[in-house]
């Protein structure tokens, strides 16, 4: 991994003495120590096709060695958002790297692509190797879960750019799918069943609202959650985003999935339409699955209307599959065997391209029947 360093300091320098990079607040020694410490973590993510060692100017990957004949490359990048502030403020650095990988690889798998390699960007004002190592260890763990190689990245120490203790993350992932096997949504048709895969929590979207609630309501994050006395509230909120690659890839390659939607910012309401062709409308019925206790807690604390929940949070469903009705039983059985919790969440019907999420009275604490629609 390269080590990027910039910026300076306002501290005065004794007259006649030479300047060093350390005088500007950048420690080359700390950067080199970090690269040495994380090299075994990256090596543990090795897979066919990945041949590079850390420390070069870039990383190589051989698609043929990974078994591809005529691949299309698919790229994705993402971050973790303000979930990082919770991690920083409560010393929970070990799993945000998994979030970073998950946000990228889940975006690749919905296009039918197998994640091949990953690069990260870690930026901070002052490099604290203990924190950086924990974060990058999480990135490596996420790569192992997704089956992709961590082949490089950038660690940038930039004095004056961040408040003390703060850092930011970005991830970049490239995957591949054989030409003609990519998922584009063109196979989706009226009559398809929508299956949902359970999320592990809030995942990595909606945290600006979560943090606003925490501040306004005075939550004690280091105490047991009201909805689960066996778990601290901070641990429920910081739970890493689930990575769905290993469960979904065999089904995609078997031709059993027509389309996939990763439920991120915009929730069910705005993400499902991204995979629909013209003339297809997704009808999601919130009566069909139980609202997770964490989601019910967030909704109650913020007096959030069901329609707002549907466009802000994943509401317990981190991934949605469009599946031909004839394949539903087989797909469900295979996903459950892979460790997923599967629920039917709705159907595709003919109509304007978009999504409607509805619920009955008392579903998501509604005082009457409700619905929300997003077109486009």
Q: Are 73 and 174 in contact (CB under 8 A)?
A: yes
- Residue 16 has a pLDDT of 67
pTM: 0.94
Which stretches of the chain score pLDDT less than 70? 1-14, 16, 52, 54-55
Element (H, E) at 117: strand 114-124
Q: Are 242 and 202 in contact (CB under 8 A)?
A: no
Q: Which of 71, 82, 79 is nearest to 115 (CA)?
A: 71
Q: Which domains does the chain have, with CATH numbers?
A: 2-178 (3.30.1330.10), 193-375 (3.90.650.10)
DSSP 184-251: -STT--TTPEEEEEEPSSSTTSSHHHHHHHHHHHT--TTSEETTEEEEEHHHHHHPPPPP-HHHHHHH
Rounded (5°) CA angle 142-309-204: 15
- Residue 11 has a pLDDT of 52
- Residue 12 has a pLDDT of 62
Give the full edge-to-edge strand order of the sheet including 317-323.
259-262, 317-323, 193-198, 342-350, 280-285, 354-359, 370-375
In this structure, the strands spanning 2-5 and 149-157 are: parallel
- Residue 10 has a pLDDT of 46
């Amino acid at each position: 991994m390269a080590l990027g360093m910039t910026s300076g300091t306002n501290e005065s320098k004794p007259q006649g003495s030479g300047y060093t990079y350390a005088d500007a607040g950048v420690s080359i020694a700390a950067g080199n120590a970090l690269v040495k410490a994380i090299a075994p973590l990256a090596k543990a993510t090795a897979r066919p096709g990945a041949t590079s060692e850390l420390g070069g100017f870039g990383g190589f990957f051989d698609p043929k060695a990974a078994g591809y004949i005529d691949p299309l490359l698919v790229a994705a990048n993402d971050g973790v958002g303000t979930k990082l502030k919770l991690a920083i403020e409560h010393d929970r650095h070990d799993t945000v790297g998994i979030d970073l990988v998950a946000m990228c690889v889940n975006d690749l798998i919905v296009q039918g692509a197998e994640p091949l390699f990953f690069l990260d960007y870690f930026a901070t004002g002052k490099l604290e190797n203990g924190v950086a190592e924990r974060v990058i260890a999480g990135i490596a763990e996420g790569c192992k879960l997704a089956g992709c190689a961590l082949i490089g990245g950038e660690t940038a120490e930039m004095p004056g750019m961040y408040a003390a203790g703060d850092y930011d993350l970005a991830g970049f992932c490239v995957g591949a799918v054989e030409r003609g096997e990519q998922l584009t949504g063109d196979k989706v048709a009226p009559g398809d069943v929508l299956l949902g895969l359970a999320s592990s929590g809030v995942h990595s979207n909606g945290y600006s609202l979560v943090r606003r609630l925490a501040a306004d309501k005075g939550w004690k994050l280091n105490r047991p959650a009201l909805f689960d006395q066996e778990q601290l509230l901070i641990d429920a909120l910081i739970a890493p985003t689930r990575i769905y690659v290993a469960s979904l890839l065999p089904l995609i390659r078997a031709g059993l999935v027509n389309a996939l939607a990763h439920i991120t910012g915009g929730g069910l309401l705005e993400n499902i339409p991204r995979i629909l062709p013209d003339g297809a409308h997704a009808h999601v019925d919130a009566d069909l699955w139980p609202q997770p206790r964490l989601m019910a807690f967030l909704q109650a604390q913020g007096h959030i209307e069901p329609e707002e929940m549907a466009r802000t949070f994943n509401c317990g469903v981190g991934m949605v599959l469009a599946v031909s009705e004839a394949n539903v039983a087989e797909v469900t059985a295979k996903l459950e065997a892979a460790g997923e919790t599967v629920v039917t969440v709705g159907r595709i019907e003919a109509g304007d391209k978009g999504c409607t999420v509805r619920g009955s009275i008392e579903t998501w604490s509604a005082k009457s029947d409700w619905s929300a629609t997003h077109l486009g």
